[in-house]
Structure 1
């Protein structure tokens, strides 16, 4: 059964994507108060697995000729009625006119505070009040990404092989299923098999494959020299990137 919209209370800070917006249009304002930047989780994408709580900061910089009294309430909202409430913001005065105010949000996927279809683009809204009573309210200050964690595993990689021999190297891409707290195969995603020769520091793509309905892939490669193989996934709008553990093949 589909649940009611989740409301997530905020209590501390870390893990995410962000928006740093140098000049943001404002609405519902009085006076010369302006928001000059919004940064979520220090500019990093929020990637959530299926473990315990993850916290991340939401920092808003605002300016007014009289100085900033407060920023809040701050809200974070996303697809399918996804809502995060942000803790009361603590303000740091940068100058007589400008302050950066930071609150934090906490998400616990094990408590079903987000659901699979709420991954994607999220937005920030906030209210700013200046010392002279000027104020600003904006419901769309900028976007950030909240994604499901992915995992990538390589297997069936031979430890030894003759030069010129062919090997089938397999991989499995899974992603967090927030709905049930597990990881399941991620279908129809493009992954690449990378190779780095012994003594080298550059990875080169030797095969590109699309995962099947179970998240599995297979690539056939010719063994030419000793080195390392690794699967990589660049991520998508809804899913974070992943790399498998490098596996070494000794070719002789």
Structure 2
């Protein structure tokens, strides 16, 4: 389940209530799950939640939260990342009950007033390790080309790229008791990047100039297209035909459209590529080497 706050203030309790739907929906298809969550949150863009807050907190806590250090998200593909954590619960909490559910989440901003919050399509799977602890495994599901609301934009905004916090929740469907906790870990949500290279002429005479062009682009989550990543430092690298190792020739900056262009001198047969080290919002990427025959 994915939730974008539709007003500035969505408390943790209210966001959690979107997860607290009848058990039949918890095991249903992703589409019905999303539809129910969107209905409970309200789709007008003017109200965050139209139901009631959870009745009481469950006697549970979360620890050992583990998630990938970075999640690369493109323009259209569904992206899932696995989260594991330990659930500790009181003797009065039956985690095997049909009306109990728990799941991981990530959020941007604060847990009580999130700018955005992302869940998984289904609740986590938990295996009891002692009478009061369980090892849990769930997913965070991301659909960059979709929105859970009928009259709003995409699920992610470009400003969402960067560091997100991790959290988890537990709830009982029947009586709406629930617990939501944040600050369990961090991950980076990054705009997927692409990098191309073309070295010419091919073949080229030894000592002559080789022109190397390319482009660095990254996902735009607001129009589902790739656009140039401007004014970024990118390394031009070369690997001899007889070697497995690339060495850096020079550093070049992308222009206002994300394009790259530079020249170098042809010496021996080999491969040219561009190498981008990445930023907090955009992952590192290497172009596939382009072979040049030096005669």
TM-score (normalised: structure 1): 0.77
1:196 matches 2:239: yes
* 8 Å Cα contact 1:68/1:99 also seen in 2: no
Choose the corresponding residue for 1:51, options 59, 67, 76.
76
Tell me, in whole angstroms, the C-alpha distance in 1 between the residues paired with 2:72 and 2:276: 14
Q: CA deviation at 1:101?
A: 0.7
Tell me, in whole angstroms, the C-alpha distance in 1 between the residues paired with 2:131 and 2:267: 65
* 8 Å Cα contact 1:59/1:103 also seen in 2: yes
Q: CA deviation at 1:248?
A: 0.5
Choose the corresponding residue for 2:224, options 163, 177, 181.
181
Q: Would you tell me which structure has more strand in proportion to its own residues?
A: 1
Corresponding residue number in structure 2 for 1:76: 106
Give runs of aligned pairs for residues 1-16 of structure 1, distance below 5 A: 5=5
Q: Secondary structure at the match of 2:267?
A: coil
* 8 Å Cα contact 1:68/1:128 also seen in 2: no
* 8 Å Cα contact 1:45/1:146 also seen in 2: yes
Tell me, in whole angstroms, the C-alpha distance in 1 between the residues paired with 2:86 and 2:126: 9
Query: 5+ unaligned residues in a row in structure 1: which ranges?
Result: 12-28, 130-134
Tell me, in whole angstroms, the C-alpha distance in 2 between the residues paired with 1:229 and 1:94: 53
Which structure's CA Rg is the greater one? Answer: 2
Corresponding residue number in structure 2 for 1:14: none
Give runs of aligned pairs for residues 166-245 of structure 1, distance below 5 A: 166-245=209-288
1:85 matches 2:110: no
Structure 1 runs (4+) greater than 6 angstroms displaced: 6-10, 64-68
Corresponding residue number in structure 2 for 1:60: 85
- Root-mean-square deviation over aligned CA pairs: 3.1
1:149 matches 2:184: no
* 8 Å Cα contact 1:230/1:246 also seen in 2: yes
Corresponding residue number in structure 2 for 1:38: 65
* 8 Å Cα contact 2:63/2:184 also seen in 1: no
Q: Secondary structure at the match of 2:184?
A: coil
Choose the corresponding residue for 1:113, options 145, 149, 155.
155
Distance 1:109 1:137, change over 3 A: closer
Number of residues paired by the alignment? 225
1:248 matches 2:291: yes
Q: CA deviation at 1:93?
A: 3.4
Tell me, in whole angstroms, the C-alpha distance in 2 between the residues paired with 1:124 and 1:104: 12
* 8 Å Cα contact 1:57/1:103 also seen in 2: yes
Tell me, in whole angstroms, the C-alpha distance in 1 between the residues paired with 2:103 and 2:266: 59
Tell me, in whole angstroms, the C-alpha distance in 2 between the residues paired with 1:64 and 1:186: 47
Tell me, in whole angstroms, the C-alpha distance in 2 between the residues paired with 1:30 and 1:55: 28
Tell me, in whole angstroms, the C-alpha distance in 2 between the residues paired with 1:218 and 1:49: 25
